[in-house]
Chains A and B, each alone.
Chain A
């Protein structure tokens, strides 16, 4: 008695991934690898900077991964994957020529109406660790057309010099000249590092900017935002001029499953790129609780470094404690 279902064609493919071929793999760090993929069933991905795809390994599962390349007119795109879970470890075990699956692109990213605001302005990219992967899609879009902007400053902070992703490209970016500058820092310097040492906020005073003529774009680990925001607001940068890419563990990508929800916002739909003025009251977006068990600085569950138990700091990171704390970033 089955009748043909009357469902929109596009809806029947909501959870159906498409094939993509691994063209190139490069090793960046111990935990991060670069992948160039080619879509086999579509002419182009059609993404805007800051969007993500659901990368799928059949039999293992899906993981949300940022698109790392600038929008293009062909069927190729790039990403940088950190091995943290089942899916991403399996992705790291792939070889060139292997077929995987993707759904997407998802999220709002930086659409035309956002990037239009950037024209003629000073762009301040503030990037922590693997945050370079999603922001590279925007950096690689604006740097080739740098004459359209007043200045482009990329501030990049990592735990150590070994954690830098796209290291070779960073050297090229440094040499770009014109109105493009790259400032780097590491939390903990090792033997080879001759650059700055300190958390990412220590770079902000080194870049003079006119608050009315500047846009900041922030991506990094969850704890970074609060401190970067504080530094920028101290310098009178208007809240409307601050964009943040705040990723969550998006599972369905289509505003249903609830995993990425922060208060009323589904990050996979209205994010992951947010204007600070629009979301500053969303406490859940900025929540960063650590597991506190004893509450007296004894058990160690909330410890970030030997000398900083968060529960002893009234659940709030003190800036001073944060600054000397390399595991916090």
Chain B
């Protein structure tokens, strides 16, 4: 973390005014309150923005990968158009766990088969991250999976080093252009990030990563039949909540809908969940993950084994949302610990 430097410093007042100015060009989405609930949503004025983080139910991935999204439009006489829509957006106040989520989703959607709908939205969005001084609550375990720090996924990163001042790290040209256009800043002295980091180090002092974090794929491979799967899977209600609130789940279903006049139709991509009973059913009726245990094993193994190898980091970012949402108190952390994530000495590896 010491390698990070800030070029500029911005005061809270200038930051919020800058965001207000940017509304001329962008929509602004940030942490806000609606009907007493904390969520990421678009705001009209910076006074609606919550600067202190409170956990949200849904992660901010919804701005890049909405719950439902039209991907094709067509008419009854056979004209088809791929609908790729993105509008300029500033996503303000995204925390390291979700920034790690952005990085993972970007790697997924920007592979050889680039997903145009996702990539268009990323391109049109300025992501302004804000680093955390501590975990947000008891359920979060970002530090266990090394996701309390973010190195990618943002265009600008803010470090609150003084009560009303942020140090600004610029990640790319998009971030630089935004600063030049909208933020009144002053030059940094150079020690701002270090001041913030000292506070963060104190906050995370006793919060250490899994001892065997890098070996999780092997551990999960070896423990396909560990009793923990049955133990936790037996309680699972297959409601799919954990998937809906996950910043790194991206499974989807695609459905077609005609308008009532049958002249125009749409193909819509919707969030789906591998924890739901029907997810792995094939045409002839066989279900390849029939039991809740098999589905739980699949989802958690994606995070710590199958996809972890591909992304080079745990694909669970420890945000704690699924833990808060689960009616049966199932936690990826508990499962990882059961298969030996924190075990001192591993005999077989």
Contact = CB atoms under 8 A, between A and B. Distances in A.
Interface in A1-17: 1-3, 5-8, 10-17
B25 interface: yes
B78 A19 contact: yes
Contacts of B87: 2
B116 interface: yes
B72 A16 contact: yes
Given A2-B87, A5-B123, A255-B113, A58 B74 contact: yes
B290 interface: yes
Contacts of A17: 72, 80
A256 B249 CA distance: 10
A14 B114 contact: yes
Contact of A290 (B115, B117, B290): B290
A144 interface: no
Interface stretch (B144-152, B184-192, B274-282, B318-326): B274-282
A60 interface: yes
A62 B254 contact: yes
Contacts of A14: 82, 113-116
A239 interface: no
Nearest to A269: B113
Nearest to A248: B282
Given A11-B114, A16-B72, A62-B254, A284 B309 contact: no
A235 B119 CA distance: 51
Given A7-B84, A11-B116, A59-B258, A257 B281 contact: no
Interface size class of A (residues with CB under 8 A): 35 or more
Given A12-B84, A259-B279, A291 B287 contact: yes
Contacts of A62: 254
A82 B284 CA distance: 10
A111 interface: no
A259 B251 contact: yes
Given A257-B251, A258-B274, A15 B82 contact: yes
Given A12-B116, A58-B256, A249-B283, A284 B80 contact: no
Interface in B266-295: 267, 272, 274, 279-284, 286-291, 294
A221 B281 CA distance: 13
Contacts, number: 149
A103 to B, nearest CB: 11
B109 interface: yes
B21 to A, nearest CB: 14
Contact of A284 (B113, B267, B289): B289
Interface string A47-67: 000000000011111110000
Contact of B291 (A58, A82, A251, A289): A289
Contacts of A257: 251-254, 272
Chain B interface mostly: mixed
A255 B251 CA distance: 10
A78 interface: no
A1 B86 contact: no
Contacts of A7: 84, 114, 116, 119-120, 123
A311 interface: no
Nearest to A15: B71
B204 interface: no
Interface stretch (B6-14, B163-171, B298-306): B298-306
A300 interface: no
Contacts of A222: 282, 284, 286, 288
Given A58-B265, A82-B283, A259-B280, A12 B252 contact: no
A256 B254 contact: no
B172 interface: no
A289 B63 CA distance: 37
Task: Determine the main DSSP class of A at the interface with B.
Answer: loop
A247 B256 contact: no
A237 interface: no
Nearest to A60: B256
Nearest to B309: A264
Contacts of A221: 284, 286
A254 interface: yes
B288 A248 contact: yes
Contacts of A263: 298, 301, 306
A287 interface: yes
A252 interface: yes
A248 B113 contact: no
A85 B113 contact: no
Interface in A284-329: 284, 287-291
A247 B80 contact: no
Contacts of B123: 5-7
A101 interface: yes
Contacts of B117: 15
Contacts of A247: 282
Contact of B251 (A3, A258, A262, A291): A258
Interface of B: 25, 71-72, 74, 78, 80, 82, 84, 86-88, 108-109, 111, 113-117, 119-120, 123-124, 224, 250-258, 265, 267, 272, 274, 279-284, 286-291, 294, 298, 301-302, 305-307, 309
22 contacts: A1-B25, A10-B114, A13-B82, A15-B116, A58-B74, A58-B267, A62-B254, A221-B284, A222-B288, A256-B113, A256-B115, A256-B250, A258-B274, A259-B279, A261-B274, A262-B288, A264-B307, A284-B294, A284-B298, A287-B288, A289-B287, A290-B290
Given A14-B82, A14-B113, A257-B254, 9 more contacts: A1-B25, A6-B123, A7-B114, A222-B288, A248-B288, A249-B283, A251-B254, A264-B307, A287-B294
User: 10 closest A-B pairs (Cβ-Cβ)?
Assistant: A258-B251, A11-B114, A264-B306, A254-B113, A289-B290, A16-B82, A59-B265, A249-B282, A59-B258, A61-B256
